[in-house]
Amino acid sequence: MVKLVRVSGYSNSGKTTLVTALVEKLTGQGVGVATLKHHGGKEHIEATDTDTWKHRKAGASASFLISSDSMTIYDDSDQGTRIGRAVGLCPPDVELVILEGFKTFTGIPWIAVRREGFELVPIDGDELPLCIVTDETDVDTDIPVFNHSDVDRVVKLLADKLLGGGE
């Protein structure tokens, strides 16, 4: 069964750097990984007057753009439904899907990414993160705290908590 983990934090906190490093380390260990990136804007990414845009304007609930080396999906369903559909489209070797962003999405284990001097993603409420990745030096918490350069330790935590044991 595919496992999900959310990597969340505000702009410039280091999310993309962490996700890229996690993908490199995990795939290097033979773990199949896919990623889903949240687009924070409400505007459509799809350009107007394209064929797929015209299809959706005509009433199609989804439109797929397929080229020789990639696929783009435009889907107007709610965010939770889109995440489930995207996970369902993952190749069979995928064991872990890393969601980048999705700060307000709940129900998925998550990693809080923070950078001193920037707005800090809050660590409170009912869903505490698996760990905090930060450059802050004095974080008062029982949650594991790692520096941005501690990718190996984050990978080990993911292996232990989500993937059934580390190497």
What's the pLDDT at 86? 85
8 lies in a domain? yes
DSSP string of 74-139, one letter each residue: EE-S-HHHHHHHHHHTS-TTEEEEEEE--TT--SS-EEEEE-TTSPPPP--SS---SEEEES-S--
The CATH number covering residue 134 comes to: 3.40.50.300
Supply the angle between the helices 151-161 and 15-28 in degrees, to the nearest 10.
70
Say which residue, 103 or 157, is predicted with more confidence: 157
pLDDT in tens, 129-144: 999 999 988 888 889 9
9 lies in a domain? yes
106 lies in a domain? yes
63 touches 50 (CB < 8 A)? no
Is the pLDDT reported for residue 124 higher than 80? Answer: no
The total domain count for the chain is 1
74 lies in a domain? no
What's the pLDDT at 40? 65
51 lies in a domain? no
What's the pLDDT at 162? 94
Chain-centre distance of CA 127, in angstroms?
16
pLDDT in tens, 13-29: 999 999 999 999 999 99
pLDDT band at 113 (very low <50, low <70, confident <90, very high): very high
Q: Residue 27 is part of which domain span?
A: 3-40+91-161
What's the pLDDT at 131? 95
pLDDT in tens, 41-61: 555 566 677 888 788 788 887
What's the pLDDT at 42? 55
